[in-house]
Amino acid sequence: MYPELCAVCGEALVRQEQHICMACLNAFPQTGFHTWPGNEVERRFWGKVPVERGIAFFYYDKESALQQAIFQLKYRGEKELGTVLGRYAGTALAEAGVYDAVDVIVPVPLHPKKRAKRGYNQSEWIARGLAEKINKPMDTEHLAHQTENASQTHKSLFDRYLNMQGVFALTDPLAFAHKHVLLVDDVITTGSTLEACIQALLHSPGVKVSVFALAMAH
Ligand SMILES: [Zn+2]
């Protein structure tokens, strides 16, 4: 047994801590967006696609401790750190009840090549922690990132459900019919990835979409 260290500050973790210490977690700047309808995340989609509730939990600054945590999560194999962060946010969001009306959680899919190289999708690991706390199921099957060489056999089927940007597609257009989907991403920068996902989801009749990101650049 060797002591586990905090992925951010390098201090030895105490018993109930995993991957990151409470001091680092509590020091990340929180947006409070879950108490703020019409916040910056929601405004980003106004006039583009309908979003029920949009939340980024932390503010993200370059050279910050949070950037270091997200770097570890994305590029250093610290996928469980995503789940710890998702749980942390999920605890506050469950208490506030903001996502009570959600039916299913869908992580933003990575490009299959990127996913293969990394070995995992960090948004899926964030979504896992969130799902645990807000007590909702997760679906990683029905929203897909398009590959350039999708086989001809599937092409005509896929083509009908391509979104405007053609990056994301539903593998079954009825997968989210009349469901309230919570899309989960790591960091919102322009919001264009989420927008493309929402465009794809809107091919399901009667679908509603909410958004959660761990952080937002500002
Ligand atoms: Zn720490």
Note the pLDDT tens digit of each residue in 25-77.
999 999 999 999 999 999 999 999 999 999 999 999 999 999 999 999 999 99
pLDDT, tens digit, for every residue of 123-135? Answer: 999 999 999 999 9
Q: Which of 130, 31, 124 is nearest to 86 (CA)?
A: 130
Quote the ligand 1 centre to 24 CA distance (angstroms).
4
**Is 78 domain-assigned?**
yes
- Cα(23) to centroid of ligand 1, in Å? 6
CA torsion sign for 109, 114, 119, 123 is negative
> Is pLDDT at 3 greater than 80 in this prediction?
no
User: According to the model, what pLDDT value does residue 61 have?
Assistant: 92
8, part of any domain: no
Residue at 10 is within a domain: no
Q: What is the pLDDT of residue 193?
A: 92
Count of domains observed in the chain: 1
Query: Which residue is listed with tokens 């909702």?
Result: 136
Q: Is residue 25 situated within a structural domain?
A: no
One-letter amino acid identity for 67?
Q
Give buried/exposed letters for 172-200 (b at 16+ CB in 10 A, else e): ebebbeebbbbbbbbbbeebebbbbbbbb
Q: Residue 54's domain spans which residues?
A: 31-217
Percent residues over pLDDT 90 in the chain? 83
Q: Is 7 domain-assigned?
A: no
CATH number at residue 204: 3.40.50
| Residue 194 is assigned to a structural domain of this protein | yes
- C-alpha 52 to ligand 1 mean position (Å): 34
Instruction: Please say if the pLDDT value at position 5 is more than 90.
Output: yes
Classify each residue of 83-104 as buried b or exposed e, where b means 16 or more C-beta atoms within 10 Å of its C-beta. bbbbbbbbebbbeeebbeebeb
Whether residue 120 lies inside any domain: the answer is yes
Residue-wise pLDDT for 133-172, tens only, equals: 999 999 999 999 987 654 444 555 455 444 445 789 999 9
